[in-house]
Amino acid sequence: METRAGDPGAFAHFDLHRVDSPAFVIDAARLRENLRILQDVGERAGVKVLAALKAFSMWSTAPIIGEYLDGVCTSGLWEARLASEFYDGEITTYSAAYKPDDLDEILRLSDHVIFNSPGQIIRCSAIISAARARGESFDIGLRINPLHAEGEVPRYDPSAPHSRLGFPIDQLTEEHFALIDGLHMHTLCEQDFPPLARTWDVVFDLLEPYFGKFKWINLGGGHHITRADYQRDELVQFLLDLKDDTGADVYIEPGEAVALDAGILVGTILDAHENGIAVAITDISATCHMPDVIEAPYRPAMLGELPGDPEVIGDEGAVRLGGPSCLAGDVIGDYRLPFAPEPGRRFAFLDQAHYSMVKTTTFNGVPLPSIWLWDSETDALECIKRFDYETFRDRLS
């Protein structure tokens, strides 16, 4: 998987020795810039924009997000609790399946609760009715699967064949719309506008008989709206047309676009040796700190990397970087470092605010990166969180 993010922005001038290692550093100024773009799209198109906490849930930045967006979307009870505690605006919750014991609180906390199948809505109808009888106010939604794959990597494509996510759109009937207030669809992964337009062309024909039977439609996330080359004017016009065609309110749920290029992961070289190629061990672990590097897979951009083709084995000057864990596959990639691979040298990977932060683990006892908030406009730097041995110990028993 090839990422089109990796703009160093103000990080090109950040002294990596100002923080400990490993460390996530988030630039509040770049975060605000992304949010202003999303707010502008929402206002011009007359749609509501929600931040996806599954991608970026650094709640110390919640006041910043609340200045610009209409709320957040969550993926279950714990994220819904986090949203209600720290974030402003609407809360939309979707899960592939709900535990009945969790649903009562989710209904209380959320404005929209979206189900993955009509069958679960029916099975939970008593819980839904009881919550409404107590005066709780919420809408019920259904996630649909457009059955139109646009993803580069099947495991990240919700519309890949036999996907578990969403109710197949060709199975919708009139009876289903009696159960719901709105529809949800999410088919993109770090993509620009054309894949959304192609997906809607498919959805339109199948959904047109039901226009007027739902009061909102949520287009989910995966929209790389804040990337410099994203077709924002085309998106705005598309959203205006969609509202006119369906007569419904429209929501979008950007995740990575909220924090795109707003964070780096700082690391240190611990050791280096030769094994046919130059190899360096770092205190950043792919498996513990950037699991998408292995799962996607993809190669994160490095701050200040020299030009060349480091992915050619044996390329002069290329160094294979790997983590400290015992996993043989804990390899980040081959890089042309802007310095000799000497122990103690600092480096940083770009665009690590979204998804990397929320997926970190302490496998093998590898320490978690600390979290820092920097404002490149004022140069203010604050350590938000450090993790110690007790963090690792207390997850075990």
Across the range 134-158, mean pLDDT stands at 93
> Over pLDDT 70: what percentage of the chain?
97
Note the pLDDT tens digit of each residue in 219-245: 999 999 999 999 999 999 999 999 999
Distance CA 168, CA 102 (A): 25
Distance CA 163, CA 346 (A): 42
252 has a pLDDT exceeding 80: yes
Give phi and psi for 236, each to the nearest 5: -60, -45
Distance CA 147, CA 160 (A): 7
Across the range 88-108, mean pLDDT stands at 98
> Over pLDDT 90: what percentage of the chain?
92
86 has a pLDDT exceeding 90: yes
Label residue 194 by pLDDT band (50, 70, 90). Answer: very high
- Angle between helix axes 232-246 and 193-207 (nearest 10 degrees) is 10
Q: What is the pLDDT, as a whole number, of residue 154?
A: 84
Q: Can you list the pairs that 333-336 forms with residues at least 24 positions away whose Cβ atoms lie under 8 Å? A: 333/293, 333/299, 333/300, 334/277, 334/310, 335/302, 335/305, 335/310, 336/305, 336/306, 336/307, 336/308, 336/310
Note the pLDDT tens digit of each residue in 291-338: 999 998 999 999 999 988 766 555 667 999 999 999 999 999 999 999
CATH of domain 46-259: 3.20.20.10
2 has a pLDDT exceeding 80: no
Location of structure tokens 């006119």: 244
Distances (CA, A) of 307 to 5, 264, 274, 378: 17, 20, 22, 31
Note the pLDDT tens digit of each residue in 340-371: 999 999 999 999 999 999 999 999 999 999 99
> Which residues, listed in sequence order, are joined to residue 144 by a DSSP beta bridge?
167
Domain boundaries, given as residue ranges, for the chain: 9-24+262-393, 46-259
Note the pLDDT tens digit of each residue in 50-69: 999 999 999 999 999 999 99
Location of structure tokens 């460390």: 23
Specify the length of the chain in residues: 397
Q: What is the pLDDT, as a whole number, of residue 155?
A: 84
112 has a pLDDT exceeding 60: yes
* CB of 279 closer than 8 Å to CB of 77: no
* Predicted structure pTM score: 0.95
151 has a pLDDT exceeding 90: no
Distance CA 363, CA 323 (A): 12
Distance CA 49, CA 41 (A): 9
Residue 199, C-beta contacts closer than 8 angstroms, at least 6 positions apart:
146, 148, 150, 159, 185, 187, 188
Across the range 85-90, mean pLDDT stands at 98
262 has a pLDDT exceeding 80: yes
Note the pLDDT tens digit of each residue in 26-38: 999 999 999 999 9
86 in the Ramachandran plot: left (φ > 0), alpha (ψ -120 to 50) or beta? Answer: alpha
Cite the beta strand spans of the chain per DSSP E.
Answer: 23-27, 48-52, 71-74, 90-94, 112-115, 139-145, 167-168, 182-184, 216-218, 249-252, 263-274, 278-282, 318-322, 331-336, 346-350, 370-375, 380-385
Cα 324 to chain centroid distance, Å, stands at 26
Q: Could you report how far apart the first and last alpha carbons of the chain are, in Å?
A: 37
Give phi and psi for 26, each to the nearest 5: -105, 130
349 in the Ramachandran plot: left (φ > 0), alpha (ψ -120 to 50) or beta? Answer: beta
Q: What is the pLDDT, as a whole number, of residue 315?
A: 61
Label residue 93 by pLDDT band (50, 70, 90). Answer: very high
Indicate the pairing of strand 112-115 with strand 90-94: parallel
Q: What is the pLDDT, as a whole number, of residue 309?
A: 72
Q: At the topology level of CATH, where does 9-24+262-393 sit?
A: Lyase, Ornithine Decarboxylase; Chain A, domain 1 (2.40.37)
Across the range 188-194, mean pLDDT stands at 94
Q: What is the pLDDT, as a whole number, of residue 76?
A: 98
Cα 315 to chain centroid distance, Å, stands at 33
Q: What is the pLDDT, as a whole number, of residue 166?
A: 97
Return the exposure string of 262-281: e unless at least 16 CB atoms fall within 10 Å of the residue's CB, then b.
Answer: bbbbbbbbbebeeeeebbbb
